[in-house]
Structure 1
């Protein structure tokens, strides 16, 4: 397993981070800093691939969050150099579109990972 990342937490630079198992991506993250709160449902169901999550449902894992069958998006107030909100997108590219079996595990992972990540950002 190895990691490819362009994320710079100190500079709050929005970028992807991909964990690879051999040549294949296992987990894909998008770290984003924005001036305004994001409409997560629109982001999850939009045409873009950076934040697309299949069959998203709202979750209480963060101030705003959605969890789908193949990923999740969460956002919270986090004032840094680049914005007032931090959004983290998790995607599992290997999950098949109709596979419902990972939703609970994705939410459980994000309940731990998202707040731990936010604590490393130096939000004010």
Structure 2
């Protein structure tokens, strides 16, 4: 049997997918996709996320080039977040995953109930 070629980019792909597949990252991208520009506290209220988790998520999304942070020199400081063109390109796959989840909620609920029944019976 022939050996499969190794994927030299697999570790990097895994790193990117773990970031963009993260629950909060997906929700931030979705929120910014619908609202163009949002301030930190707007996002926090909208998502029901802790300040620390939102800070970490926004920082990583900014680092990956998906979110743009704009700080205005006002008192108090005004900071806004928006999707970059790369972030905008991620909206469609996120939207499709959301539709897939909505379309399959009943199937997932049934599978979970079936699994739980089997687990309790063992």
- Using the size of structure 2 for normalisation, the TM-score is 0.32
- Using the size of structure 1 for normalisation, the TM-score is 0.32
> Relative to total residues, which structure has the larger helix share, 1 or 2?
2
